[in-house]
């Protein structure tokens, strides 16, 4: 397993801030706002990162085309949710890193039109960065913001540049170690 990116202490703090639009509240409170955002933005794809977010989006018929889960909630093991998808892929990604394998799995999954679930052994949090980077333009990437709500990130050229810069910092940090 090859580590491609390593989280720096400075980025750990920065990435605690939402990468996109924070929709605050419980999932029941955020659903109408997310639905309105989707109606306005008409995203080309919806991608979910996180177990609870993925489960809730599926239950509320938002139909993400890619779901990235790690069978954990707040870093505690949970019983895996049954999420009906056309394809399930397993990958490895240790906490605080992004592996080449996980990155390529996401990239390849976004090239298909199959509804795909990626199950991560390790941690999926940082994989939202890869999802944003490789998502088709105008996609909406949705992830949970602990104890606050959900974050919706629109994959725009500007946002992709911002993510590429973050990843470059992580790559340089890995090389310097």
**What is the model's pLDDT at position 120?**
97
**What is the model's pLDDT at position 177?**
67
**What is the model's pLDDT at position 69?**
96
Q: Are strands 149-154 and 21-24 parallel, antiparallel or unpaired?
A: antiparallel
Q: What confidence category does residue 159 fall into, taking pLDDT thresholds of 50, 70 and 90?
A: very high
Per residue, what are the HEC states of the chain? CCEEEECCHHHHHHCCCCCCEEEECCHHHHHHHHHHHHHHHCCCCEEEECHHHHHHHHHCCCCCCEEEECCEECCEECCCCCCCCCEEEEEEECCCEEEHHHHHHHHHHCCCCCCEEEEEEECCCCHHHHHHHHCCCCCEEEEEECCCEEEEEECCHHHHHHHHHHHHHHHHHHHHC
pTM, 2 dp: 0.94
Element (H, E) at 23: strand 21-24
Q: Roughly how many angstroms between the first and final C-alpha of the chain, as a whole number?
A: 17
**What is the model's pLDDT at position 1?**
80
> 64-87: per-residue pLDDT in tens?
999 999 998 777 777 777 878 899
**What is the model's pLDDT at position 50?**
95
Q: 34 by DSSP, 3-state: which? A: helix
Domain ranges in the chain are 3-176
Q: How far apart are CA 25 and CA 14, in angstroms?
A: 22
Q: How far apart are CA 145 and CA 22, in angstroms?
A: 8
Average the pLDDT over 23-42 and give the result. 94
**What is the model's pLDDT at position 121?**
96
> 83-112: per-residue pLDDT in tens?
788 999 999 999 999 999 999 999 999 999
> What's the chain's Rg over C-alpha atoms?
15
């Amino acid at each position: 397993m090859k580590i491609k990116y390593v989280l720096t202490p400075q980025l750990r703090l920065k990435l605690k801030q939402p990468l996109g639009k924070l929709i605050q509240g419980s999932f029941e409170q955020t659903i109408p706002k997310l639905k309105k955002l989707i109606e306005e933005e008409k995203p080309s794809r919806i991608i979910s990162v996180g177990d609870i977010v993925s489960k809730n989006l599926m239950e509320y018929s938002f139909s993400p085309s890619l779901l990235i889960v790690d069978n954990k909630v707040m870093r505690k093991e949970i019983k895996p949710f049954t999420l009906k998808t056309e394809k399930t892929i397993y990958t490895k990604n240790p906490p605080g890193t992004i592996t080449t394998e996980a990155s390529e799995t996401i990239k390849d999954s976004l090239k298909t039109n199959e509804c795909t679930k990626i199950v991560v052994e390790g941690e999926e949090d940082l994989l939202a960065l890869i999802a944003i980077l490789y998502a088709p333009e105008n996609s909406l990437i949705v992830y949970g913001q602990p104890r606050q709500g959900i974050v919706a990130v629109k994959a725009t050229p500007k946002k992709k540049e911002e993510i590429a810069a973050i990843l470059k910092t992580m790559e340089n940090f890995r090389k310097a170690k």
